[in-house]
Structure 1
Amino acid sequence: MDRTPPPTYKAAMQLFAKTAVPEVRAARLSLAVAVVLLAVKMWAYVLTDSAAILSDALESIINVVAAAFAVLSVSVAAKPADARHPYGHGNIEYYAAWFEGMLILFAAAAIFWECFDKIANPQPLPRLGAGIGLLTAASGVNLWLGLKLLRQGKRSGSLTLEADGRHVLTDVYTSVGVLLGLGLVWATGWLWLDGLVACLVGANIAWTGIALVRQSVSGFMNESDPALLAGICDLLRERRHPSWIDIHRLRAIKSGRAVHVDLHLILPRDMTLAEAHEQVDAMEKLLLAHLGPDADVMIHADPCDPPCCPVCDANPCELRQSACTETPLWSPDNTGDPVRGD
């Protein structure tokens, strides 16, 4: 079998080298910061013996592992399609999100194990002020990092960076909750609050883990994205050419940064092959301009049939059997099924 890369492969690799660098840098930055903050939080735990701070530190361990996995997955996902991976490498991002979600759930279980004991058997918390100071500093750094990762992930369409950014921001919310709880412990002397705060932290990150696992499973199963389909329908409806009678069998999925779209376009039956190709090419260029250079668009041209006449405003038309009575209002609800033209 000939595995020689196509002529455009070199150009695609050059594009990958230019566009992937910011994402990889962001992932590496996340890893470096996660390692430093883990050390800071573990230091705070050693100083205070607080279950709440331990719960925050356990989540930071997950941050380190997830950030390391993000560096790998972002690097791989950004590579262009090749002969062995014709649809690209974007699905690795779903594995990364699933892995991170499962780690978060594991951390939540460990937190619950510790916090129940602290509630039943509360212990004094030495050097609590120093621990609160360290945790406050770590939270500020995490807030900056989480917002940066979210911006970079949305800009590049990277699910891994967005998941990592959301996880880091969850860590910030966790730390703020821990700080409030420890402040109450310090002010009131109610030591059992330490264990209660740890339980609340565990519940919060467990919810985040479940959401990440759910999102990644949706990607594995190629679940449709209503917002993506609605955007495509809106674009085609607004920029509709008079010869585009109708569309159906519209499908679109995301694979990492890439979007794969295929649909059937109904064209006048009396069009020549060259004219039909011209319209298919025009629609393809329109979708690529909207979805970005990583998109993969496949359009199948169908000749019109009599059931198409009510939505076809071609005039004159020697094949017409009924008058045009409506304009097709393309939406995700009426473009997915094989209705007219098959």
Structure 2
Amino acid sequence: MKTLPTGESVVYDRVLRARDGIPMDREQRKKRVALLSVFSNATLVALKLTVGLAIGAVSVLSEAIHSAVDLVASGIAWYSVRTSGIPADREHPYGHGKIENVSGTVEALLIFLAAGWIVYEAVGKIIRPEPLEMASWGAAVMLLSAAVNTAVSRKLFQVGRETDSVALIADGWHLRTDVYTSTGVMAGLGAIWAASHVAPGVDLNWVDPVAALGVAALIVKAAWDLTRRSARDLLDARLPGDEVARVEALIRNHRPVVKGFHQLRTRKSGHFRFVEFHVKVDPAMTVEASHRITQELAGEIRGHFPGASVTIHIEPCDGSCSDRCIEGCLLDEAQRGSASARREAGGAPPAG
């Protein structure tokens, strides 16, 4: 197989992306926002760990671990969006899109492990309670963490949805979960600080480990949802119902030239969609005309789903609907009745 020089390869890749309707800067946008997540998480891990150790707050330390998991997840997301954009090659003819689904599964596993550690530490704190010092510091750090992660997760969701990136959306959910848990920890530490000033005799130190258990419960829920989303595409589940309906509508728009369709199969790999189906046309149609129909259909599908890989198989249709294509038959009742009469009279056999 001929290998293009580096410069020509880059140009060729750009031509392919332009043909498939993929914006030139989409991959760069994904990389930039993934890198932003890495830097913000690294900063928050250092800050939470320092303050958590200083004041002895297990809820703050649990949040530091949560942010450390977010940091690893962000690194995985950054790697996956870099890799998923690599064009198909000889060893990977369907591209590298599934690396994003794999990264989502790995991120979910990391969250489960972090939740286990948080529960272990929190239960130990409940059994052997220790007084907290400088709870206001912990509350301040949680407020800063919630603000930073709100801004970064909003950007991850925006770019992730615009580019249909599983990895970025998963990373966004990591940080959005951190926002919720940071807010809960902040409320708990704020209550402890307020009690120490307003009602010194009231012991609310138990709020800290209980808040940590709440953190664990929330991130386990996030991990479970992320696992389900990632596994769906790894198992080649079909596209969502509304997307399949859109493909079917585009095919039906070509009646009466297209007389029927069947074996419509769809799947997703990262942000890439794969669509394949058989269409039935007039047996007398030339190869050139039938090829033109497939090109038009594929172009329309890519217009709605940029970058989609579309495979269409042409079959002749004599008007007799076989069991395998009856659901996609575009003939009216009169044409079907005429076909049935021909079959009963010993006419042309079914094409399918």
TM-score bracket relative to the smaller structure? 0.7 to 0.9
Aligned residue in 2 for 1:265: 279
Aligned residue in 2 for 1:251: 265
Q: CA deviation at 1:320?
A: 4.6
Distance 2:59 2:194 in 1: 16
Q: CA deviation at 1:113?
A: 0.3
The AA in structure 2 aligned to 1:168 is: L
Asked if the contact 2:56/2:133 (under 8 Å) is kept, the reply is yes
Aligned residue in 1 for 2:219: 205
SS at structure 1 position matched to 2:320: helix
Q: CA deviation at 1:8?
A: 8.8
The AA in structure 2 aligned to 1:23 is: K
Asked if the contact 2:278/2:314 (under 8 Å) is kept, the reply is yes
Distance 1:96 1:69 in 2: 6
Q: Does residue 321 of the first structure (1) align with residue 339 of the second (2)?
A: yes
Aligned residue in 2 for 1:80: 87
Q: CA deviation at 1:306?
A: 4.0
- CA offsets 1:257-283 (integer angstroms, 9 cap, x no match): 211110111112332222222211211
Q: Does residue 123 of the first structure (1) align with residue 130 of the second (2)?
A: yes
Distance 1:241 1:48 in 2: 72
Distance 2:49 2:33 in 1: 24
Distance 2:333 2:127 in 1: 78
Aligned residue in 1 for 2:48: 41
Aligned residue in 2 for 1:11: 11
TM-score (norm 2): 0.84
Aligned residue in 2 for 1:240: 254
Match of 1:221 among 235, 245, 250: 235
Distance 1:158 1:27 in 2: 11
Match of 2:101 among 84, 94, 98: 94
Aligned residue in 1 for 2:39: 32
The AA in structure 2 aligned to 1:47 is: A
User: 1:139-288 counterparts in 2 under 5 A?
Assistant: 139-188=146-195, 189-227=203-241, 228-237=243-252, 239-288=253-302
Distance 1:12 1:173 in 2: 45
- CA offsets 1:182-241 (integer angstroms, 9 cap, x no match): 22333443211211111111011011112222222222211222233233224434x333
Distance 2:193 2:10 in 1: 62
The AA in structure 1 aligned to 2:167 is: T
SS at structure 1 position matched to 2:88: coil
TM-score (norm 1): 0.86
SS at structure 1 position matched to 2:313: strand
User: 1:294-313 counterparts in 2 under 5 A?
Assistant: 294-308=307-321, 311-313=330-332
- With 2-11 and 244-253 compared, the bigger mean Cα shift is at 2-11
Structure 1 segments unaligned to the other structure (5+ residues): 324-339
Asked if the contact 1:267/1:304 (under 8 Å) is kept, the reply is yes
Aligned residue in 2 for 1:109: 116
Distance 2:181 2:80 in 1: 26
Q: CA deviation at 1:5?
A: 5.2
Aligned residue in 2 for 1:60: 67
- Aligned in 2, Cα 1:314/1:287: closer, same or farther, shift over 3 Å? farther
Aligned residue in 2 for 1:337: none
Q: CA deviation at 1:174?
A: 1.0
Count of aligned residue pairs for this structure pair: 322
Distance 1:80 1:12 in 2: 10
Structure 2 segments unaligned to the other structure (5+ residues): 18-22, 196-202, 342-349
Distance 2:3 2:109 in 1: 39
Distance 2:68 2:277 in 1: 45
Q: CA deviation at 1:341?
A: 5.6
The AA in structure 2 aligned to 1:289 is: G
Q: Between Structure 1 and Structure 2, whose CA radius of gyration is higher?
A: 2
The AA in structure 1 aligned to 2:278 is: H
- CA offsets 1:33-82 (integer angstroms, 9 cap, x no match): 11001111112212321121111111100111111111211111011112
Distance 2:273 2:239 in 1: 11
Q: CA deviation at 1:3?
A: 4.8
- With 218-227 and 133-142 compared, the bigger mean Cα shift is at 218-227
Asked if the contact 1:245/1:312 (under 8 Å) is kept, the reply is yes
Give identity over the alignment, percent. 32
SS at structure 2 position matched to 1:38: helix
SS at structure 1 position matched to 2:285: coil
Asked if the contact 2:319/2:331 (under 8 Å) is kept, the reply is no
SS at structure 2 position matched to 1:270: coil
